[in-house]
Structure formats: C-alpha cells, structure tokens
Amino acid sequence: MERMMILYKALICLVICFVGSAHAKQYDIDNIEMVHLIDETKYVCNPEKILSMGTVAELDSLFYRLEATTGIETVVVVVDSLRGGDCYSFSLKLGNKYGVGSENRDNGLVLLLSTSDRCTQILTGRGLEGYLPDAICRRIQVQEMNEPLKNGNYDVAMLKCAKKVVSYLDGSMVAEPVKKGSDSREFWVMFFLIFTPIILMSIWSYYKQRKCPNCKKFKLEQKDTLLLIDDKKVRVTETFFLCKNCQHELSRKTTVRKRDDYHIGGYGGYGGRPGSFSGGPSRGSFGGGSFGGGGSSWKF
C-alpha cells in the first residue's frame, strides 16, 4: 500500500511538470517587451524574473554608461524558452526589427540567454565586429559563461559576460554629438509660429485702445478706473480716457465673468499642467542600426 502511494505521488508530480512545461510561455520578437522603449535607462528584458533585481540593476547601469560614453546601444534578453529554440535567429530578427544601434555606425549589441533551450547569443552590429570579433565573443561564452550556466548561476554568467564585453567596447568610440543646430532651428520656428500671432494681437489691441473716436488720433490716455461691481459671478469696471489731441473724454466699461471652478493652481501639484513634468521615466529609442550576423552562438 505504501509503495502504491509513492508511485501515485510520483505520477502526480510528473503530470504537474508536464502540464507546466506545456503551458510555459515561449517568446518571439513580437511578444517580448522592449523595456528600453519605456524607460531609456533600462536595457534588460527579464520577463520571467530569471535574473535577480540586483543583477538587472547592475546590467542596466553598465550599459547605460556604455551608451553615454560610446553611443553603443544594447539589448539584453533573458527568457526560459524561445519559439523555435534558435538564439541566433531570435537575436538577429530582434536587433533588425527595432534598429538597435546607430543608423550611421551600426553599433548595436544584443545579449541573449534562453535557459530551457540552453543557448546564449552575443550578436554584434557591423560597426562593432572590429572591436568584438566572433572569436572573442566565443571565448567570452566559453571561458566566462559556460561553467556558471551549467550550474544554474544565471546572474553570475550574465554579469561576467556583460563586464567582459564592456571591457572590449569601453573607449572603442565616442557618442555621436547632439545636432544642436537642428534643434535650435526647430525651437525658433516653433517660437515664431506660436508667439508672432500673440504679439501682433497685443499690438493691435494696444493701438485700438489708444485710438480716439473723435479725432482718430492715437492719443487716448487712461485717467482713472472705477470698480462698479465685484461679486462671486462678475467683475465690472469703468475706465475713463482723455484724448491729448482734442481733449475728448470717454469711458469704457469692462465686464469679466468669473468661473465657478476657478482656482489658483487648479491643476494641483505645483500648478503644473496635467501630464507634464510628472517625474516619470523618459522613453527611450533606438537609432535605426542593422545586423549582419556577427558574434557567436553557444550551447551550454
């Protein structure tokens, strides 16, 4: 009876493992979330939390500094299983789809680990192949990653890989300068488009106020203003003018209706506009780079 119970429990465990593996999510380039497009300081796609938070933070920091100093754009992907199980094809399609790297220099880098497929990929854009040749990529996988991967130490493997890759690429190139001239021209175009009508309207309003209806000269001067009504709904004032040319006198009444929901700083916070300067992360982007197949695939 006891032996039957043991066999029964073993059978249940096998069924659970089979069902779990059958429903395990397989990733392709269409269902992997590119975290860098959400937050420009993030580089590690780790949807199943295979890597620890500390390791992800350290990798993000490494590749953020690398991009800031060299302009090299990196994507790190760590998943349990790929649809098709081919690390090379996945990395190549991913890098080309999102245009990882600069369009002018093709300096993109993709690092991939698929644990169930037991494969890793270091994929380099054409512009990096001279700094990180295929043989060096293979040496990193064999010497730095192979042993910790076989022992299931994925954090150690990815950190050792990243640090070794960065040691070859750090200082290899400098980041492309920001095209300030283009940004400056766009700023002034927008400035004139927005503020020119406002300025013209202000000038027209000013001269309209100063034009005397009697002599048609722009000689009216404001002499005094009286507050006639000031309640919760409306504010009425009367302003008196005198023409310095013909001594003509006139008055103008101004009525301003008050909004019931008017409050100073009504948007809340620091009086800012909704959705602006909210303190959220800045969205990242890729530069339109392409890949020709440089790098190395490795099965551990």
Between residues 188 and 108, the one the model is more confident about: 108
Identify the top-confidence range among 4-13, 160-169, 196-205, 220-229.
160-169
Please check whether residue 282 lies inside any domain of the structure. Answer: no
Nearest to 300 by CA among 150, 123, 106: 150
* Amino acid at position 256, single letter: V
What is the CATH classification number for the domain harbouring 166? 3.10.310.50
Please check whether residue 104 lies inside any domain of the structure. Answer: yes
Question: Can you list the positions of beta strands (E) in 105-259?
Answer: 108-114, 119-124, 220-230, 234-243, 249-257
Please check whether residue 124 lies inside any domain of the structure. Answer: yes
Q: Quick one: average pLDDT of 50-59?
A: 97
Cβ neighbours around 79 below 10 Å, total: 21
Domain that residue 38 falls in: 24-175+288-299
Distance from C-alpha of 22 to C-alpha of 39, rounded to nearest angstrom: 33
- Tens-digit pLDDT profile for residues 15-31: 444 444 445 689 999 99
- Helices 154-169, 53-70: axis angle to 10 degrees equals 10
Contact 55, 155 (CB under 8 A): yes
Q: Quick one: average pLDDT of 260-274?
A: 41
Please check whether residue 263 lies inside any domain of the structure. Answer: no
**pLDDT band (50, 70, 90) for residue 267:** very low
Q: Please give the helix or strand (H or E) that residue 205 lies within, else none.
A: helix 180-210
**pLDDT band (50, 70, 90) for residue 194:** confident
User: Could you tell me the pTM of the whole model?
Assistant: 0.62
Please check whether residue 208 lies inside any domain of the structure. Answer: no
What is the structure's pLDDT at 141?
A: 97
- Across the chain, mean pLDDT equals 83
DSSP letter at 218?
Answer: S
What is the structure's pLDDT at 184?
A: 61
Please check whether residue 35 lies inside any domain of the structure. Answer: yes
Number of domains in the chain: 1
Contact 300, 146 (CB under 8 A): yes
What is the structure's pLDDT at 274?
A: 36
Q: Quick one: average pLDDT of 2-12?
A: 56
- Tens-digit pLDDT profile for residues 60-72: 999 999 999 999 9
**pLDDT band (50, 70, 90) for residue 13:** low
Please check whether residue 256 lies inside any domain of the structure. Answer: no
Please check whether residue 155 lies inside any domain of the structure. Answer: yes
- Tens-digit pLDDT profile for residues 230-263: 887 888 888 888 888 888 888 888 888 876 544 4
Nearest to 73 by CA among 38, 121, 17, 111: 111
